[in-house]
Amino acid sequence: MLKVVSVVDKVGTALDRLAKGVAPYHDNLNYIVCDVHPKRPDPEQLARFEVEAMDADIIDWQYFRTAELLRSKYDWLKDKKHILTHNNPYSITESDWNTYDINVGNNQEISDNLKKITNTQVEYIPITVDSDFWEYNQEWEPNNSVIMVANRIESKKGILPVAIAASDLGMKFILVGAVSDRNYMFDIMQTGNNIEFHEQVSDEELRQLYYRSTIHVCNSVDNFESGTMPILESMFCGVPVLTRKVGHVPDIYNGENMMLQEGSSEDVVGITEKLKEMLFDKKLLSEMRDKAWNSVKSRNFERRAYEYQKLYRQVMYPDQAPVSVVVPIYDRPEIISKCLSAIANQTYKNIEIVVVDDNQESNKPLVDEFARYVNVPVRYLNTADGTYGLARARNEGTIQATGEIIVYCDQRMVMHENAVEEFVKNIKPKTWMYGKKLTKKEFVENFSCVYRKEVIEAGLFNERINLYGGQSQEVRSRIRRQGFQIEYVEGAECTPTGKSSNRNRKRNEIIKMKNKLWKCGL
């Protein structure tokens, strides 16, 4: 299984939460998160990194200082593939990033600036949060409280002016964070007796603090933040946001989903006026909540993981288009194993295998065991609901795939080793290709290839074909009407294994499906 080591600075930081947040969506990879302090790594951290990184295929660096430290320390890292994500706008001129295979900016400004100073591939992948956890608070009511959440309580976060403004307005000031500058914290606490400070809180406790708050404020200085995550958390939770135009705010601000504080971070008068404006306009706050949620709903961990998976494939095989082989399975484990092994042994290497199990008696143990011994990503999905679900299985596999090209290979088909290579060599836009199964036959999609985007735009497979015997006829008729060419690729071969008893066993189903298609004019 492809191994990726994601390296963060410290446990519990925003970078650590991002890396661990996408982990559940990397179940088709051997994905490991390692923390290594960027200045003072302890021996245990270094030992764990060495063990995990030695046999890794890709090092996914989430903090530039840790990356620079370890790459200077371990010469063997030069043989790895490297992706570096830039989370600090002020750091992108501090080194030569051309030694990394791919550079990622987590807001548009960072990404654009990286393109100006590097010759490498640069991608933009935004910061995200756990949208399942930071749930929208339907019961929210304004209650004259303001919240600020900071990883480190220091002057760059602009906390003191907000504390003064909250005190002047008689608002409760909820402050969450770790004290980095004790003198600065002392000044904050002197602003009044309306401060509620929380130094160490769980995510569950933080969510409840958001729910108790009327307004979330981000008041950081320019060129310091790339996010922040609390802005997204608040917007998901339905807490109206007052913020300066920093970090990713320009990427998500649409004129209605948050309030901008245009002055400096020290502008107490400006902050006070904006807070007052928001507090006394309940309609504005209510509308802002919904518009905020709508503008950030796509910024979730699942999407971030999907984007990184595409990068992992690009960095491993930069000269090959990514292919996803979608394999619907049901029973007969010995047949399934032969099919999967043939896919893993293809001459074309930029492959992921998306196994879609439509059997309620799960084949997951078999697939998991197979995935342990191959160096390609293997994703397992289960779509079983007790009905005939071939179309459903193919559709879900196509949707979850990260390749731009899809090869459909049903479990009975054992590909010859150059089959995928032949398909890719011959693929063309608006063309659905099919291969040779011992002899040339009429198009049947169970061993075929098409661009992923095009099959999705064509409507995928028809889940109304819910009995055996009509899938190929319906697909052929529909895609031809849509202008697809159907082409035979003789060099793409497979050998069917076992016997397909479906036709003899399901003659009544075939008749029912043919009648249904006939009524549809097909």
Q: What is the pLDDT of residues 145-173, one digit of tens each?
A: 999 999 889 999 999 999 999 999 999 99
Write the CATH number for 377: 3.90.550.10
pLDDT given at position 151: 85
Residues 95 and 200 in one domain: no
Domain end position, chosen among 90, 124, 158:
124
Q: Tell me the β-bridge partners of 217.
A: 242
- DSSP alpha helices (H): ranges in 145-224? 159-168, 182-189, 203-211
pLDDT given at position 499: 64
pLDDT tens for 72-94 read 999 999 999 999 999 988 888 88
Residues 447 and 509 in one domain: yes
Q: If DSSP codes are grouped into helix, strand and coil, which group holds residue 382? A: strand
Write the CATH number for 188: 3.40.50.2000
Report whether pLDDT(519) > 70.
no
Six-digit token string for 19? 């890396």
Identify whether 303 is part of a domain: no
List the domain range (segments joined by +) for residue 292. Answer: 145-296
Q: Are 214 and 142 in contact (CB under 8 A)?
A: yes
* Burial track 478-510 (b if 16+ CB lie within 10 A, e otherwise): ebeeeebebeebeebbbeeeeeeeeeeebeebe
Q: What are phi and psi of 452, to 5 degrees?
A: -60, -50
Q: End-to-end CA distance of the chain, in Å?
A: 44
Averaged pLDDT, 24-39? 96
Please tell me the total count of domains within the chain: 3
Residues 393 and 470 in one domain: yes
Residues 67 and 152 in one domain: no
Six-digit token string for 512? 């029912």
Q: Are 64 and 86 in contact (CB under 8 A)?
A: yes
Write the CATH number for 44: 3.40.1190.20
Return mean pLDDT, the chain.
93
Number of Cβ atoms within 10 Å of the Cβ of 318: 12
pLDDT given at position 444: 83
Identify whether 375 is part of a domain: yes
Domain end position, chosen among 262, 296, 330:
296
Strand 405-409 to 323-329 pairing: parallel
Q: How far is CA 41 from the centre of its chain?
A: 29
pLDDT tens for 103-140 read 999 999 999 999 999 999 999 999 999 999 999 999 99
Averaged pLDDT, 274-281? 94
Strand 81-86 to 58-61 pairing: parallel
Q: If DSSP codes are grouped into helix, strand and coil, which group holds residue 86? A: strand
pLDDT tens for 215-232 read 999 999 998 988 899 999
